[in-house]
Structure 1
Amino acid sequence: MTAMLVAMLSVTAVLWAAPVRAAEPGAPRGDEASITLREDDFDIDVRYPRLGKAAVDDDLARWAAHIVAAFRQGLVEPGTGGEPVNGTPDLNAHHFVNELKVTYDVTRASARAATVTFSIWTYTGGAHGNLDIITLSYDMASGARLAQEDIFADTEGALTLLASYCYDALAATLGDDRAEDMLRSGTSPDADNYASLALTPEGVRVHFPPYQVAPWSAGPQQVDVPLGVLIDAGPRLELWGVTR
């Protein structure tokens, strides 16, 4: 996870209240919302879904507002681009527009569980931007956001099973982009490596952003892990619509 996103997610200041725009041509559909803000030095376009459950939709709206507020705060901090902290512009600096672009995909393991996978693109100067992937999973019956311990009875066991499966899968598919040290480190059974899990009808989809398991040139990676592979970790089967 990039330093910029860590800073964005760790902000504890009062959220800046950004307007949620109504649908415009080529903009949000009826089942999604957006926060769109453009000024001379930044361009923000954050999309997020409405899933039809009040508690879930409220949580997603808060999450989106938090991302925007943290990004804007980061622009006035040292080393993150944007406005000069001391109020004195660098006349030799090349002007660029700071960007925050957030898109999403929704997967549903069953009527009981849904995951929103956010692709978070930020650019604050440099050779290229940064791409991070964040997943938020929900119990659609209660509206609660799901942590790993809510999905698996044995979270340590789940990490071990995920690590083995993902290493083997990526070792077979990365080809010339395979960097062994990066692959082993990025798939090791560490909770941070598997923070971006999406629930799917078949099991879980593990998202790896660029640089976690392979070089930037390889792009983000994902591995679909069948539910059967994880059965020894005690997955909460009702989330997949399986009744005992």
Structure 2
Amino acid sequence: MNIAGNRRALRTGALALAVGLVLLAGCKREADTAVAPATDTTTAQPDTTAPQAAVEAPLELRDVIENTPQAVVGISYPQDVNRFPGLAKALSDYATAARAELQQAVDGLGNDKPTMPYELSLSFEKVLETPQLVVISADGSRYTGGAHGEPLVARFVWLPETQSMLTADKLIADTKGWGVVSDYIADQLKERVATRLSSEDMDPGQLQESLRSASRMIADGTGASPENFSQFQPMTDPNGLITAVRFVFPPYQVGPYSDGTQTVDVPAAVLAPHVAPAYAGLFAKG
């Protein structure tokens, strides 16, 4: 090969090497540009999803049995209530509040030991389940000294289709409707008291005074406000439609402690005209 040929070969090789270096640098810049957004997106993703995952974590309710020199605690739950996370949380919140009040009384003892152990006894039971309704009753007592324990009475009405709790203020939204419920329940309770007292050996004056006293308690506990009717449980027919609502009154609300928990069933025919439209379909017709 002559000198000119050698020079041409050297120029060709140098040019090829330069082009290769330029292409390599360009590829590197494109790769850097493509990778950078993907890295940023991956980093941001856990920050947006982590809180949601924490909120949706299921709550596992477990029975509680505790026994110490100062206090005894027993809490039981329906076995399958964890299928309804929102309902399970409501039960857990109620039990936690009851335990907190017991613990406050125990803490007040200091190092002292009570004559009788303080006690919390609470039982949650499923009393109704249909595709539209799940009803849980809570009954028990909390003893922190004195002649007797404090009654614990609550009802939880869960709507699976909307994953929400049905409360008294939602069931009937106006004062007029609660006035009808109030009158019906007060009449039932007064009639019940009159029947009981008339069977006892009382002189007429004592009987009248007892009736007046009972009527005052009933009037105070059944005023036309949803707060007075917050504990209730629907009763259904074979088709799952509500035929009546049983309102539950703990001791002291409409009578003395000795009368215990009282209930009054209000028929659907009385309630239906006043039920909020969103829940009218839950009730039996006619």
Question: Normalised by the size of structure 2, how large is the TM-score?
Answer: 0.62
Residue 181 of structure 2: aligned partner: 162
Q: CA RMSD in A?
A: 2.7
Question: Normalised by the size of structure 1, how large is the TM-score?
Answer: 0.71
Residue 21 of structure 2: aligned partner: none
SS in 2 for 1:121: strand
Q: 5+ residue gaps in structure 1?
A: 1-19, 21-31
Residue 62 of structure 1: aligned partner: 92
By how many angstroms is 1:149 displaced?
A: 3.6
Structure 1 contact 135–198 (Cα < 8 Å) conserved:
yes
Percent identity between the aligned chains? Answer: 21
In structure 1, how many angstroms separate the alpha carbons of the residues matched to 2:251 and 2:232? Answer: 16
Distance 1:53 1:238, change over 3 A: farther
Residue 193 of structure 1: aligned partner: 228
Structure 2 contact 102–120 (Cα < 8 Å) conserved:
no
Richer in strand (by share): 1
Asked if 1:74 is matched to 2:104, the reply is yes
Richer in helix (by share): 2
SS in 2 for 1:213: coil
CA deviation string 1:84-121 (max 9, x = no partner)? 2xx5x3xxx85211111112343337420122121131
Residue 224 of structure 1: aligned partner: 265
Structure having the higher Rg: 2
Distance 1:229 1:119, change over 3 A: same
**Range with greater deviation from structure 2 (58-67 or 194-203):** 58-67
CA deviation string 1:162-216 (max 9, x = no partner)? 2111111111112228512111111121332111111221221111111111111
Structure 2 contact 106–118 (Cα < 8 Å) conserved:
no
Residue 17 of structure 1: aligned partner: none
By how many angstroms is 1:127 displaced?
A: 0.8
Asked if 1:124 is matched to 2:144, the reply is yes
Structure 1 contact 55–144 (Cα < 8 Å) conserved:
no
Residue 133 of structure 1: aligned partner: 153
In structure 1, how many angstroms separate the alpha carbons of the residues matched to 2:183 and 2:117? Answer: 42
In structure 1, how many angstroms separate the alpha carbons of the residues matched to 2:254 and 2:133? Answer: 28
Residue 280 of structure 2: aligned partner: 237
By how many angstroms is 1:225 displaced?
A: 0.7
In structure 2, how many angstroms separate the alpha carbons of the residues matched to 1:56 and 1:194? Answer: 22
Structure 1 contact 53–143 (Cα < 8 Å) conserved:
no
Residue 190 of structure 2: aligned partner: 171
Q: 5+ residue gaps in structure 2?
A: 1-59, 198-209, 237-242
In structure 2, how many angstroms separate the alpha carbons of the residues matched to 1:155 and 1:109? Answer: 28
Residue 67 of structure 2: aligned partner: 38
